[in-house]
Chain A
Amino acid sequence: MSTVFAGTEKNSDEFDVNEMIMHHIKDSHEFHIMDINGHAVSLPLPIILWTDNGLVSFLSSAFEHDDSGSVIVSRKGQDFVKYHEKIFYANNNGSEKFISYDANGNIINKKPIDFSITKMVFSMFISMILLVLIFVSTAKTYSNSRKGEPTGLGKFTEPLIMFIKDEVALPMIGEKNHDKYMPFLLTLFFFIWINNVMGLIPFFPFSANLSGNIAFTFVLAAITFIITTLVANKDYWKHIFWMPGIPVPMKLFLAPIEFLGIFIKPISLMIRLFANISAGHIIILSLISLIFIFKSLWLAPASLFFSVFISLIEVLVVAIQAYIFTMLSALYIGSAIEEHEH
């Protein structure tokens, strides 16, 4: 936390809670580890840009920790600046300022398409490696056991897997089809959960607020949406556009609502995970910030007590959110392939 504090101190003496928190929960092009004597120690991450002249890549250390658009990096005859963790084409109109604004204060500089390995992408890769390590070695323990009973790591992971099978897949999708969706549900659940947990750990190489990022939750919700739409049977569409068993005026009334529901369901998935995880991070950071807002060390015990308390709740929340996301995904898929009997 002090690292961020130090970072914001450069601009003004006033501690800006909002900026500090936003800085923390948003993405970044370098992985800040700590500050030593006011000097930032961070892991430079590769910046990959799709520009007008094709693919450009360089390490983020080329910006020399600058985030105010004052350091230019030139590659392939193009100049780039980084401003608030966004890469822009630099203005080369000869002035000192590389960033131009319109009348409303919006930046008018053009942006290359940014495919950088950011802090979040880096964190996601770590989570992938962890997941593969954990579950491939779990799978290996089964070949060692005599009668397929869990040994070693399997003793820990199998109950989780069985939980997804027995409490999510079986009741939501049903005995007949659940096998087909188990790999998806398991991957989804553990991917969300491990990233949630990694976001709660406040030091390198964790602490990235990946599952509290709308792009991340958007992709997962979109995958659920695509699966639901692709596997949906005739009954599903019939229940949306021509609900059986009710009068025609009601059918006409319900059709647009049900149609919107197709999109609202995954959007609610996306927003729920994003908002819950981000909110958790914001609360913890706010509680810590109390010390700096009141500029009193005496507040530290209370502030710490509450942030530890909230952190413990968050441990529960992140597991529940991963479970809810998985369960609702399973529910939507299950409702799409359900065979109705009238």
Chain B
Amino acid sequence: MDLVTPDIGLIFWTTVSFAILYFILAKFAWKPILGAVNEREKSIKDALSAAEMAKEEMASLKADNEKILNEAKLQRESLLKEAREIRSKIIADAESEATEKANKLIQSAKTAIENEKSAAMKELNNTVVDLSLNIAEKLLSKELDNKEKQQENIQEILENTKLN
């Protein structure tokens, strides 16, 4: 029975000892130790979250890069397309212009030819008139006596000239 009867003296000293020990250790041991441990845990957590953030940033940067690259590709594509369009347009334009120019040239050439032709005709007419006159003169001078024949000749010449 003695063994399970708490001794008042030991109760007193245990209480006092535990209280003193608690205050000494709490102030000079647990506070600095737990403080250091918590601080370290916090810094580790911070470092981890910073690393995570950096990773995310990297990922977003990568995504951005890809986006930019895609955009550039699209732009290149559209530029090429545009260029192709421009080229074909230029070609088409040039073609039509050339055709037009050629047509014009042909037209002007035709006009010039027409003009030349009419001029030539006029000159021919004049020449023919001169020739006729000359012929007539010569004929007149040669065959003035032969009236009938003369008239026949002239008629013939005139008709020929007109046919021309």
Contact = CB atoms under 8 A, between A and B. Distances in A.
Interface of A: 22, 25-27, 48, 113-118, 120-121, 124-125, 128, 131-132, 135-136, 138-139, 142-143, 145, 147-149, 154, 157-158, 161-162, 165, 179, 182-184, 186-187, 191, 213-216, 218-220, 223, 274, 278
Contact of A27 (B4, B7, B39): B7
Given A143-B32, A182-B30, A135 B25 contact: yes
Contact of A215 (B6, B32, B33, B40): B6
A215 B3 CA distance: 10
9 contacts: A131-B21, A139-B32, A148-B37, A148-B40, A187-B22, A215-B11, A216-B10, A219-B11, A220-B18
A183 B26 contact: yes
B9 A121 contact: yes
A115 B26 contact: no
B68 interface: no
Contacts of B5: 214
B29 interface: yes
Interface residues of B, number: 34
B21 A182 contact: no
Contacts, number: 124
Given A120-B10, A139-B32, A216-B10, 11 more contacts: A25-B3, A27-B10, A114-B7, A114-B9, A121-B10, A121-B17, A131-B25, A135-B30, A148-B43, A213-B10, A216-B14
Contact of B9 (A116, A157, A162, A165): A116
B8 interface: yes
B105 interface: no
B50 to A, nearest CB: 15
Contacts of B25: 131-132, 135-136, 183, 186-187
B70 interface: no
A221 to B, nearest CB: 11
Nearest to A87: B9
What 10 A-B pairs have minimum CB-CB distances, sorted nearest first?
A135-B29, A215-B10, A148-B40, A215-B6, A142-B36, A183-B26, A139-B32, A219-B14, A148-B36, A183-B30
